[in-house]
Amino acid sequence: MYTPAKERYETMEYNRCGESGLMLPKVSLGLWHNFGDTSDYENMKQLCFTAFDNGITQFDLANNYGPAYGSAERNFGKILKEELMPYRDELIITTKAGYDMWEGPYGNWGSRKYLLASLDQSLKRMGLEYVDIFYHHRMDPETPLEETMGALATAVQQGKALYVGLSNYDGKTLSQAAAILKDLKCPFVINQNRYSIFDRTVEENGLKKTTGILKKGLITFSPLAQGQLTDRYLNGIPEDSRIRKDGRFLKESVLTPERLDQIRRLNDLAAQRGEKLADMALGWLLQHKEVTSVLIGASKPQQILDNVKAIHCAPFTAEELRLIDEISK
């Protein structure tokens, strides 16, 4: 039986999630990759243990993480049951619904029918009575926002979620959704969006600005642009890399000569700061006051240990921030 490290809370730092009472670790573990049925179960356990031993209390899932759909939740549920359940009250476990999950008209998007059924399935797979945060995973242009937000509020009222969040929303829709959730007295605390040095969408679509105005939390996924903002691809594509093992989301064609030049220049800047590129990339996100936590993925425990160092990243000078913007544009 796993026993967590006694000093697990001594190195991690925690940020308040917006104006809520919820504190989240600056670095959280995402189970989007490496927890499906194609991955090694013993390695999954070591990833979870390494995270928790280093103060990472938040584990982020979604209904369709895998492959196959549902398998990440099922595998994490097994780890919970076998090893982590004694520490349930020290964990923030999150899941989502919004993308395709099962066939037919009720297994996708944002209907009340889909969201509440999906949450019940997620809880069953993980062997839980509730999740800490339940997200709507993407905007649904067809379903009234009142229906989708009403479903999130019902999940909380039923005791199946403590808080709710929104993922992949833009500023305008976030603003509308937040007003509805406020009327419903629903504890909406966090947004989850893609954000990195290479992907500034949240700066352009009003999401980051609106998050700050509404005083909500923001957790960023793909903070390392799925490994691009590391030293992993500086000398070619390793055989054990995500591109080689699972080309669904990061394709070799992304690594153009121009992109590789950007990565090398950013790597040089990180070296001048006495840091690895990954540390600098995570630190760059965490210096934004709107960002509560960065969501890392890992295929090896050592990657988690490396990424946790980012919380001690040196402050950025105005010139360094200008250079990062210049290189990444």
pLDDT tens digits along 30-64: 999 999 999 999 999 999 999 999 999 999 999 99
Domain span including residue 60: 14-226+277-317
Cis peptide preceding 178, ω within 30 of 0: no
Distance CA 257, CA 74 (A): 40
Establish how many alpha carbons lie within 13 A of residue 79's alpha carbon, considering only the half-sphere containing its beta carbon.
Answer: 22
Residue 294 within any structural domain of the chain = yes
Q: For residue 237, what pLDDT band results from cuts at 50, 70 and 90?
A: confident
Residue 271 within any structural domain of the chain = no
**Cα of 322 vs its chain's centroid, Å:** 26
- Asked if residue 245 has pLDDT above 90, the reply is no
Dihedral angle at the C-alpha atoms of 265, 270, 271, 277, nearest 10 degrees? -90
Residue 240 within any structural domain of the chain = no
Establish how many alpha carbons lie within 13 A of residue 68's alpha carbon, considering only the half-sphere containing its beta carbon.
Answer: 1
Q: Residue 12 in 3-state DSSP?
A: coil
- β-pair partners for 326: none
Q: What is the DSSP string of 257-295?
A: HHHHHHHHHHHHHHHHTTS-HHHHHHHHHHTSTT--EEE
Number of compact structural domains in the chain = 1
- β-pair partners for 45: none
Residue 237 within any structural domain of the chain = no
- Asked if residue 248 has pLDDT above 70, the reply is no
- Asked if residue 240 has pLDDT above 80, the reply is no
Q: Give me the sign of the Cα torsion angle 117, 122, 127, 131.
A: negative
Residue 22 within any structural domain of the chain = yes
- Lowest model confidence (mean pLDDT) among 43-52, 198-207, 251-260: 251-260
The two structure tokens encoding residue 131: 């999740």
Distance CA 329, CA 327 (A): 6
Residue 267 within any structural domain of the chain = no
CATH number, residue 33: 3.20.20.100
Residue 101 within any structural domain of the chain = yes
- Asked if residue 318 has pLDDT above 90, the reply is yes
pLDDT at residue 255 in the model: 87
Q: What is the pLDDT of residues 266-288, one digit of tens each?
A: 999 999 999 999 999 999 999 99
Distance CA 236, CA 39 (A): 24
Residue 251 within any structural domain of the chain = no
